[in-house]
Amino acid sequence: MGILACAASILWLTLAFPAQRSADTRLQVVVEPDGIVEPQQITLHFRRDTDPTRNVLEHTELVTAKFRVRPGASVRLLARPISLTGPHGEIDLAALSWKGTAATFVRTTNAFNCTSGTFDEEGVGELADIQTRAGVMACLVTFSLNNMERLPAGVYSGSVALSLRLE
């Protein structure tokens, strides 16, 4: 009975699912662009004290991104300061700068350059120049206030939003 049931199953499969006889079979795989950056927001804290040994003049964060884009497209890792305040209220965003270096202790899979700069009037900075279509990048980004010696003593704080732009 077992052999007859097996033979009947094979016969049924052959009749129900006949072999393809055409030569135009195609498989299309669509990979949509996507990406994620971590962290998505950085909270900054600086302190300028009358005693220089108590100053906190820099804030460093590990920024990682995973992404994939279509051929010919580009990836931009952007930072946009959301706020920046000091002891006397808001501070011009151009007072904030960053310096990026590749985080060699994080396994990365593509070519990229961490950048340095100052935020422009629009308050947007490009933290990395990414030269590939898919992969992982990691930068140690150090934020600092420009011309700290001109700023009054006190606590300075703010936040920076990070995003990937897949173009």
Question: pLDDT tens-digit profile of 17-50?
Answer: 666 666 677 777 766 767 889 999 999 999 998 8
Does residue 22 fall inside a structural domain?
Answer: no
Asked if residue 67 is part of any domain, the answer here is yes
Residue 33 domain flag? no
Which pLDDT score, from 0 to 100, does residue 146 have? 85
Residue 5 has pLDDT above 80, yes or no: no
Q: Which residues of 56-95 are buried (b: 16+ CB within 10 A; e: fewer)?
A: eeebebebbbbbbbeeeeebebebebeebebeeeebebeb
Structural domain contains residue 35: no
CATH number, domain at 153?
A: 2.60.120
Q: Which domain holds residue 137?
A: 41-166
Q: Does residue 26 lie in a domain region?
A: no
Mean pLDDT over each residue of the chain, to the nearest integer: 83
Return the higher-pLDDT residue of 143 and 35: 143
pLDDT for res 9: 66
The two three-digit tokens of residue 147, written as one number:
């011309």
- 12 within a domain of the structure (yes/no): no
The string of pLDDT tens digits covering residues 59-80 is 999 999 888 877 777 788 999 9
The count of structural domains within the chain is 1
Residue 57 lies in a domain: yes
Q: What is the pLDDT of residue 159?
A: 95
Q: With a cut of 60, say whether residue 130 has pLDDT above it.
A: yes
pTM: 0.76
Q: For residue 31, is it within any domain? A: no
